[in-house]
Amino acid sequence: MLVAVMLLAVIAILGLVVDSGLVHAARRQARRAADAAAQAGAYALCSGTNATYRTNATAVAYLYANLNGINTNANVVVQAPPGATSGSVYTGSNGYIFVQVTLPVNTTFMRLLTTQRTVNVTAAATGGVKVGPCPLTILVFHPTESGALSVKGGAVLEISGGAIGVNSSSDTAVVLTGGATLTCATLNVVGDVSGTTTATVHTGVPAMADPFGHLVAPVLTSSTTVTYGDGATGSTSPDSGGTAGSPAIASPSGITTLRPGIYWGGIKITGGDVTFQPGRYVMAGGGFEVGGSPTIFGTNVFFYNTRDPYSGSSAADYGKISVSGSSTVILKSPTTTADSTYGGFLFFSDRANSQDVNVSGGSSSSSAGPLTGFIYAAAGEFKVTGSGYLGGLGAVVREMQVSGNAKFSALEIGRVPSVTTAGLTE
């Protein structure tokens, strides 16, 4: 009798150990699936939080739960936004997604002692998007190029208090030659640096993602219409030099005010006194060029540089962005308040446009400088020549070369583009 009792006790202990292990393993699986699904859903919300994007995020969450071993949607609850039953502090907030995974665990030995044959384990996670100012002043994308960031010939690149990221894995990803000087707070490089700098240098870091990769660029949706990332539309500017089928560069002279919209064939300014009204300007072919000695003013202006898809002429091709000469220029990007979509961007190149962005002849002696805002050219090279303060500039580009004494002023807080990140919040 005693032996039977002891045997029963041993079986009970074994059952508890085995079943506890099964429950613990299931709980870890549920946690892993819930976290992965919520995080994936949150990344899907980076592109937008309206009903369409929330539906897409929900589908993505179910997919990632399935990829993590949850084979039926009946075991998964997804709410975008989190519902009242979620218990989330983000209930009703469209930028968040709630995922709950429940797994039934079949008991083994314990069912011999109790009537309970399954135990349900549950894990929940909430993911969401966060919006904040871009943490980098300069990010250079090229993955392998030697001298992806090059400062040469005694040039000086000074970015007071700013951070620079370089994604090239080359041992000479950053090249400083001929007595060149690079001054910034932090330099983060996937590869290595050739030359010396006063910055705090971190090498061997992971490649940095495009902070603006989710931003929807303007799209020419007809021969007279452009649709922006926020759904707003624009039309051909009354000051355009051409039409979609017959693009021609606009070359204002004298005292001129230019109005926002599409410029079929681009803009080229070599003289006169030109004022840009606040708004969004789309260069459909031809690019944007400033040379000579004009006087140019524009605040809360955004320039998008693309091509004209409705014409086969050379004027329809991608053009460069160039600001040079002895011109007097004051161009400021929109504040994030004035333009919640493209706020902080001064020049934004089509992601397929590999034409250069050239800034030279920085003649300003004040820390304000002629240009304020970010330059985004994911496929292009940013070339800086000349000397003096260029303004409160930031740059996210494929490559960057500096030859001259270029100084970037401190960024204006209200003109730093917002960056959307995603992750787990609960």
pLDDT digits (tens, 9 = 90+) for 135-183: 888 999 999 999 999 998 778 788 877 899 999 999 999 999 888 888 8
Quick one: CA dihedral 208, 212, 215, 219, positive or negative? negative
- Strand spans (E) along 73-224: 76-79, 96-106, 118-133, 138-140, 149-151, 156-159, 163-166, 174-176, 181-183, 186-189, 193-194, 200-203, 219-220
pLDDT of residue 267: 98
- β-bridge partners, 418: 133
Domain boundaries, the chain: 2-133, 210-419
pLDDT of residue 368: 65
pLDDT-based confidence at residue 386 (cuts at 50, 70, 90):
confident
pLDDT of residue 388: 74
Residues in CB range of 148: below 8 A, 6 or more apart? 140, 141, 142, 166, 167, 168, 170, 173, 174, 399, 400
d(CA 348, CA 233): 17
Tokens 């805002």 belong to which residue?
373
pLDDT of residue 116: 65
Of 207-216, 279-288, 360-369, the poorest mean pLDDT is in 360-369
Residue whose C-alpha is closest to residue 376's, from 423, 422, 421, 419: 419
Of residues 321 and 115, the one with the higher pLDDT is 321
pLDDT of residue 257: 98
Q: What's the pLDDT tens digit per position in 77-95? A: 999 999 998 888 899 988 8
Mean pLDDT of the chain: 88
- Residue 336 tokens read as 């994030």
Residue 37 pLDDT > 60: yes
Of 149-153, 348-352, 395-399, the poorest mean pLDDT is in 149-153
Summarize the confidence of residues 115-139 as an average pLDDT.
Answer: 83
Phi, psi for 62 (deg, rounded to 5): -60, -40
Residue 361 pLDDT > 70: no
pLDDT of residue 203: 95
pLDDT-based confidence at residue 396 (cuts at 50, 70, 90):
very high
Length of the chain, in residues:
426
- Residue 310 tokens read as 């409705």
pLDDT-based confidence at residue 25 (cuts at 50, 70, 90):
confident
> Which span out of 97-106, 132-141, 376-385 was modeled with the highest average pLDDT?
376-385
pLDDT of residue 354: 97
Residues in CB range of 229: below 8 A, 6 or more apart? 215, 216, 217, 218, 341, 342
pLDDT of residue 262: 99
d(CA 171, CA 192): 5
- Residue 425 tokens read as 């919040």
Summarize the confidence of residues 202-211 as an average pLDDT.
Answer: 91
